Amino acid sequence: MKNSNSFTKGLSPSQRIEIDACTQCGECLDCCPVQQVTKNPDISPPEKIRMFREFITATDSLKAKFLGSKEIDRKLLDDFCRAVFECTTCGACGQNCTVGIHTQRLWPMLRKEMVRRGLGPIGPQKDMPEAIQKTGNPYNKPAHERYSPWFPDGVQVAEKASVAYYAGCTGAYEAQPMVKGDVLVLHAIGEPFTMLPPEDEVCCGFPLFITGQHDMLEDLVNRLVEAYRARDVKTLVCSCPCCVNIMVRDWPLYYGRELPFRIRHITQVVAGAFASGRLKIERELRERIIYHDPCYLSRGVGIIEEPRDVLKNIPGIELLEFDHNRLDSRCCGAGGAARKVYHENATAMGRLTIDEAVRKKADKLILSCPACYAKVHEAMQDHDTKIPIVDIMELIACLLGKG
C-alpha cells in the first residue's frame, strides 16, 4: 500500500540505502565548507541524515505501520529544513564519505521532499518558478536583455549548425565577461555555431532542481531539447557547470529518452581546438595563476583536466593548485542556490578561496563557473585581500586578442 506520508517517496532505492548507510562517523565535517564557516554541527551532513532517519522512523518504520505514523516535531522539521537548505550541495562530504554516499545528488532530493511538504524552499528561492515562467530566467530579468549587453560585435551566429552554444542565465545576467569570453573563443575556433533566440534560451532547470522545485522541469527541458533538435544540433556546448550537470545527468530523464545531441563543457571544445592546432596563443603571460575547480564540474561530471590543459597552452604561465583541488575541490560559496539566502556563509567561503589564492602568491584567480564568478567577486568587496578574478575563457579570449 502506498504511504503518502512517506518521507522516502521521491528517493531512489540507492538513496534510501544511503540514508541507512551513514555511520555517523562525522569525518565529513572536516571538509564541509559550511562547517568551516559556521562551526555548527547541528547543520552538518550526519546530523541531517540523523534527523531524516527520525522522520522515516516516525512514518515508515514497522512500528509506524502497525501503530500508525507518529506526529513529527515541527521544530525538528524546521531544523532539518534549515540544515538542508543552508548546505551548498557541493558534495565534498560525499567525496570524503567513509561509505561513499553520493551527497551531491542526495541533498537536492531531500530538499524536494521538504518542498513537497510546503516547508521549503527558503527566501528568494521561492520566487524562482514564477520568475522563470515569466521571463525564462530565475533572476526575473527581461528575456530580451539576455544577450544584448555583452554579445560581442562581429560574431556571427548560424541559424542552424551542428554545434550550439547555451549561455545560461547566471552567465548571461551575472557573469557577462565569462559568456562574452565563451562566444569570442568559439568564434576564434572558426567552426559555425548556433544559439537560440534570447526568448527561447530559457533556464536549464538547475536552480529549480537544486531547490527541490521540480514541477516545471519537464516542460523546460522539452522546450530546450526540441529547439536545439530543430536546429540540427549534434553538440551542445555550455560553460556553466550547473547547467552542464543537469543536462548530462537529468535532461534524459525529463526528456524521456536519450538526448539527440551530446553535451560538452566549453573547456573540452577549447582543449580540443588547442590540441588540433585550430587555436594557438602567441602572447606570453608571465604570471602565476591558480585554477579553482567548480564542484559541479569536477565532482559533478568529471571535467578536471581540460581546464588545466587549456591554461597550459598559455606561454609563460605557472599554474598553481589549491590545497583542495580536482575531486577534492572546496566550494567557493556559490553552490546550492544558497548564496543569496545564506549570504554571510557564502561570502566567508568565497573569502577563503581568495585568501588561499593570495597566500599562494597567485597573480590571478581563474574560475570557470558563473556562480563562482559572481560570488567570489562579491566576496572580495570590502575584503582586505584582493586578487584579479578572471574566467578561464575571458582570459583565453583576451590572450587571443579578442577580448
Partner 1 sequence: MGLVLSLGFYAAFLFFVAGYLARMLSWARDAPPQAVPERNISLYVCLSALVDILLLRRLLRVNDVLWLGEWTFHASLVILFLSHLKYILDPVPAIIASMEIPARVAAWLLPASLLFIGVIKLVIEKKPYISSYNFMLLGLMMVSCVSGLVMKYSFPADLADIKHFTMGLVTFHAGISPGSLTFLFHFFIFLVILMSLPTHIFAAPLTMIEARQRDDELPYLMHEK
Shortest distance in whole angstroms from residue 285 CB to partner 1: 28
59 counts as binding partner 1 under rule CB under 8 A: no
Site for partner 1 in 96-155 (CB under 8 A): 96-102
**Residue of the chain from 14, 133, 148, 385 that contacts partner 1 (CB under 8 A):** 14
CA separation for the pair 338, 325 (Å, rounded): 22
Which among 94-102, 167-175, 229-237, 382-390 is the span making contact with partner 1, rule CB under 8 A? 94-102
| Number of Cβ atoms within 10 Å of the Cβ of 188 | 18
Shortest distance in whole angstroms from residue 97 CB to partner 1: 7
Shortest distance in whole angstroms from residue 80 CB to partner 1: 16
35 counts as binding partner 1 under rule CB under 8 A: yes
41 counts as binding partner 1 under rule CB under 8 A: yes
Nearer to partner 1, 62 or 286 (CB): 62
Joined grid coordinates for residue 58: 516516525
| Number of Cβ atoms within 10 Å of the Cβ of 384 | 9
**Residue of the chain from 5, 10, 70, 79 that contacts partner 1 (CB under 8 A):** 10
CA separation for the pair 317, 50 (Å, rounded): 47
170 counts as binding partner 1 under rule CB under 8 A: no
Whether the CA torsion 381, 385, 391, 395 is positive or negative: it is: positive
Nearer to partner 1, 44 or 353 (CB): 44
Joined grid coordinates for residue 192: 559555425
Shortest distance in whole angstroms from residue 33 CB to partner 1: 14
**Residue of the chain from 33, 34, 52, 60 that contacts partner 1 (CB under 8 A):** 60
Shortest distance in whole angstroms from residue 383 CB to partner 1: 26
Q: Which amino acid is at 26?
A: G
Q: Which amino acid is at 227?
A: A
Shortest distance in whole angstroms from residue 67 CB to partner 1: 13
Count how many residues are written for the chain: 403
Which among 14-22, 135-143, 151-159, 186-194 is the span making contact with partner 1, rule CB under 8 A? 14-22
Which among 159-167, 169-177, 223-231, 258-266 is the span making contact with partner 1, rule CB under 8 A? 258-266
Whether the Cβ atoms of residue 376 and residue 389 lie closer than 8 Å to each other: yes
275 counts as binding partner 1 under rule CB under 8 A: no
70 counts as binding partner 1 under rule CB under 8 A: no
- Centroid of chain to Cα 284: 32
What residue ranges bind partner 1 (CB under 8 A)?
A: 2, 6, 8-14, 16-18, 20-27, 29-31, 35, 39, 41, 44, 46-47, 50, 53, 56, 60-62, 65, 96-102, 244, 248-250, 252-253, 263-265, 268, 301-303
